Structure 1
Amino acid sequence: MTFQADKVSEFEEIFNSSKHKIRAMQGCCHLELMRDINQPNIYMTHSHWESETDLNNYRDSELFKTTWAKTKVLFAEKPLAFSVESLTVV
């Protein structure tokens, strides 16, 4: 997610106020926020879900809708989202 540079702290406040609620959602096993080391207005969330159904239930929840509404107005570019499966862990 690429944020407007002057909106970064606002995003961090939104994430910090939501992270424990997201992590408490049914099926959420891991939640992590990462930032690009060279471009400090670029962030990525990384989460693990027990199932795609659990992830979709979160995406359909009021928590997601309200958090996303506050977050999306802060973007400088269209965000990307990926759902992946782990093939190899070493």
Structure 2
Amino acid sequence: MFVRIVKLSFHQENIPAFLENFEQNKDKIRNAPGNRLLELYQDKDNPDLFFTYSYWEHESDLENYRHSELFKEVWAFTKKLFNDKPQAWSVDKLVSLV
């Protein structure tokens, strides 16, 4: 399992637009080939800070999504709302206790 973690920081006045856009696109992103999970988190101490976690079968599935029209549209909209450069990590899931 391949996990992508993305840290996003927004201008406070842009958060509603981000959340609305995420709501409109979350099912499409989740149903991208190879995607097994999509989660959105908001920091408890800094409400301008969000994290997305997405689980992918293979790294190539994420790359295919990142070259899709859906990603291009979502990212073009989202990046205009940032107050800081986004950060991303690609990690391999080693252990999960449920």
What is the TM-score normalised by the length of structure 2? 0.89
Question: Residue in 2 aligned with 1:53?
Answer: 60
Q: How does 1:16-31 map to 2 (within 5 A)?
A: 16-31=23-38
RMSD: 0.7
Alpha-carbon distance between aligned partners in 2 of 1:10 and 1:61, rounded to the nearest angstrom: 22
Partner of residue 22 from structure 2, selected from 15, 21, 35: 15
Deviation at 1:39, TM superposition (A): 0.7
Q: How does 1:1-90 map to 2 (within 5 A)?
A: 1-90=8-97
Q: Which runs of 4+ in 1 moved over 2 A?
A: 87-90
Unaligned runs of 5+ in 1: none
Deviation at 1:18, TM superposition (A): 0.6
Alpha-carbon distance between aligned partners in 1 of 2:20 and 2:54, rounded to the nearest angstrom: 19
Alpha-carbon distance between aligned partners in 1 of 2:27 and 2:95, rounded to the nearest angstrom: 29
Deviation at 1:88, TM superposition (A): 2.8
Deviation at 1:86, TM superposition (A): 1.6
Alpha-carbon distance between aligned partners in 2 of 1:23 and 1:7, rounded to the nearest angstrom: 23
More strand by share: 2
Deviation at 1:41, TM superposition (A): 1.0
Alpha-carbon distance between aligned partners in 1 of 2:56 and 2:95, rounded to the nearest angstrom: 17
Count matched residues: 90
What is the TM-score normalised by the length of structure 1? 0.96
